[in-house]
A and B are shown apart, each in its own frame.
Chain A
């Protein structure tokens, strides 16, 4: 009996060596829960990129294992553990929310598995980590885009809205304050919210009393939509400016007329997409979903593309250390969202855009280079 098992095992081993292998990439996204739009749009873009290319140079096939963490930090960390220990993935793509990526990072770091977050912008996500990389710019850049854009367009006094539960929001708030005051702008007030809250009447009444010329909203879209609505109801006239966390159709659907004029810094706008890669993505996206493209999807596509490029540079694409080294050494990667260079910290250095809600749609305002 023992012999038979040994023979069977060696046959299986030879068989597995002679055929093209399957290389697994684990994906962790908030597909349900309060940040579901982040996960779902990311997944949409990922599907486009996967359909365009899922074969490595050496003939191996890439397999995606997508897990839903419901937007929860604990679930996100558990999902990474499962992907590494049970599914034996070579690399991990995700998450969107910085808080969740930060919960995942130590797990990936410990298991020496390369993790690429496509959309977490808080600097602390990659800080001190050797195996965590990102495909997007970081909050100091994003906060500076908002601050400079606001100040240069005549909005000289601001109230900052911070979501105390989100590391992303705390980071952007800090960056905005620094860049805005450096330019000469004045922060006249600060209000705190918690994600999951629905009543912001106390906060918007405070904003009204402070009478700023602009409101910097650094949280996410579910709160943005309700807050801007309640702000307009109590008579706050100042426009809102935010970050990439607000740019979702729900901002317009729930915010209604109140969302008009809401500006935000973002990663991608198809109006600014000129490269062949971006055009191909936009075309495939429109053909499949019949809706406008979004940043999260484009970033997820780039994150996936960067992992594939790194794998292609390795003799054995399942060699995690090699994939990680190449991922961290990414230079001049031509992605959907522009040219991506990874710096020493593992952060992407790339351009950003400013968009605005106009006539119930997201419109392109300008591109900002680093």
Chain B
């Protein structure tokens, strides 16, 4: 393999890894607070991408469509919390988990019924689909934009969590919900806020996903949701920075398998998950995760 192909493959790794990282942050945020693996996260991402698509089709400019998509995803996230998760707040965690899977199926099939399963072409403005040529190496602008956006969002979230009153409330909720209520904090509002932030992140992820791979369908969130979940676990679920690291590791693993072992390319997902198992064998809490009971973001 010559050097330019190697560099190109590394760029491909950054591109895929940052995509997973962006989606994994939302996963880990909800987990950190509620100890709930929100399997509907990938589907909220799909909702975001679809709303942006539909808004653009209705003639709304891209930037406004993005804002509408984020709002729609936040509303979807808050509604799922209110309708599906809130009544189960004191139920065993496994009930919540199963409900999350149910919500995931519901959203997938709802969009299947409404819009059909045929993939649709997602259009994006030129400045996002531009490709930079540099000495034989091709860099799509999204490869630069997505990591930057991921990092900015990461810092915003860490700032909210560590420097604001709401962040303090979120962190304390993660420890003990009844005690937080005793302190006069409206736990439901704070949990709603968590779902709103998580869903907004999912929508941003969904839109960037649709910009990078301009084909959207109601099941688009399934595989990427699973990968983002794996990334979050790999990085240490509950740790926002870990999610980013996990995303990059997963992305690079997949690209490296395809690039260096083309005959085994069909097993790239298997390699990614074997890697996940190996990490968990030696460090059950993931790379950045501390003791499961103590780690909070």
Query: Chain A: residues with CB nearer than 8 A to chain B?
Result: 30-34, 36-37, 40, 70-71, 162, 164-165, 189-194, 196-199, 201-203, 205-206, 208-209, 222, 225-226, 229, 233-235, 250, 253-254, 256
Q: Which of B140, B217, B263 is A233 in contact with, Cβ under 8 Å?
A: B140
Q: Which residue of A lies closest to B218 (CB)?
A: A32
Q: Which residue of B lies closest to A165 (CB)?
A: B266
Q: Which residue of A lies closest to B123 (CB)?
A: A256
Cα A32 to Cα B112 in complex, Å, equals 7
Q: Which residue of B lies closest to A202 (CB)?
A: B258
For chain B, the bracket of interface size reads: 35 or more
Tell whether, in the assembled complex, residue A36 and residue B258 are in contact, meaning their CB atoms are under 8 Å apart. no
Can you name 5 A-B pairs with beta carbons within 8 Å? A193-B266, A199-B19, A202-B9, A206-B259, A250-B118
Tell whether, in the assembled complex, residue A36 and residue B116 are in contact, meaning their CB atoms are under 8 Å apart. yes
- Residue of A32, A34, A191 with most partner-chain B CB within 10 A: A32
- What are the interface flags for B252-271 relative to A under an 8 Å C-beta threshold, 1 for contact and 0 otherwise? 00110011001111111100
Which residues on the A side are within 8 Å of B255 (C-beta)? 201-202
Q: Which of A164, A202, A222, A233 is B131 in contact with, Cβ under 8 Å?
A: A233
Tell whether, in the assembled complex, residue B258 and residue A256 are in contact, meaning their CB atoms are under 8 Å apart. no
Query: Given A190-B263, A203-B265, are A198 and B215 also a contact pair (CB < 8 Å)?
Result: yes
- Residue of A33, A40, A196, A198 with most partner-chain B CB within 10 A: A198
Tell whether, in the assembled complex, residue A253 and residue B16 are in contact, meaning their CB atoms are under 8 Å apart. no
Tell whether, in the assembled complex, residue B138 and residue A235 are in contact, meaning their CB atoms are under 8 Å apart. yes
Query: Given A194-B266, A254-B214, are A36 and B5 also a contact pair (CB < 8 Å)?
Result: no
Q: Which of A36, A191, A196, A234 is B8 in contact with, Cβ under 8 Å?
A: A234
B285 within 8 A of A: no
Q: How far is the CB of B204 from chain A (nearest CB, A)?
A: 17
Which residues on the B side are within 8 Å of A233 (C-beta)? 131, 138, 140
Query: Given A194-B269, A205-B8, A209-B2, are A253 and B121 also a contact pair (CB < 8 Å)?
Result: yes
Q: List B residues 38-71 near A (Cβ within 8 Å).
A: none
Tell whether, in the assembled complex, residue A36 and residue B138 are in contact, meaning their CB atoms are under 8 Å apart. no
Q: Which of B116, B118, B213, B264 is A198 in contact with, Cβ under 8 Å?
A: B213
Q: How many A-B residue pairs have CB under 8 A?
A: 117
Which residues on the A side are within 8 Å of B181 (C-beta)? none
Closest 3 A/B residue pairs (Cβ): A164-B266, A36-B117, A192-B265
Query: Chain B: residues with CB nearer than 8 A to chain A?
Result: 1-2, 5, 8-9, 12, 15-16, 19, 112, 116-121, 131, 138, 140, 209, 212-215, 217-220, 222-224, 254-255, 258-259, 262-269
Query: Given A201-B16, A225-B215, are A192 and B120 also a contact pair (CB < 8 Å)?
Result: no
Cα A51 to Cα B99 in complex, Å, equals 44
Cα A234 to Cα B5 in complex, Å, equals 11
Which residues on the B side are within 8 Å of A222 (C-beta)? 119, 215, 217
Q: Which of A30, A33, A191, A226 is B265 in contact with, Cβ under 8 Å?
A: A191
Tell whether, in the assembled complex, residue B119 and residue A33 are in contact, meaning their CB atoms are under 8 Å apart. no
Tell whether, in the assembled complex, residue B259 and residue A205 are in contact, meaning their CB atoms are under 8 Å apart. yes
Q: How far is the CB of A18 from chain B (nearest CB, A)?
A: 42
Tell whether, in the assembled complex, residue A34 and residue B12 are in contact, meaning their CB atoms are under 8 Å apart. no
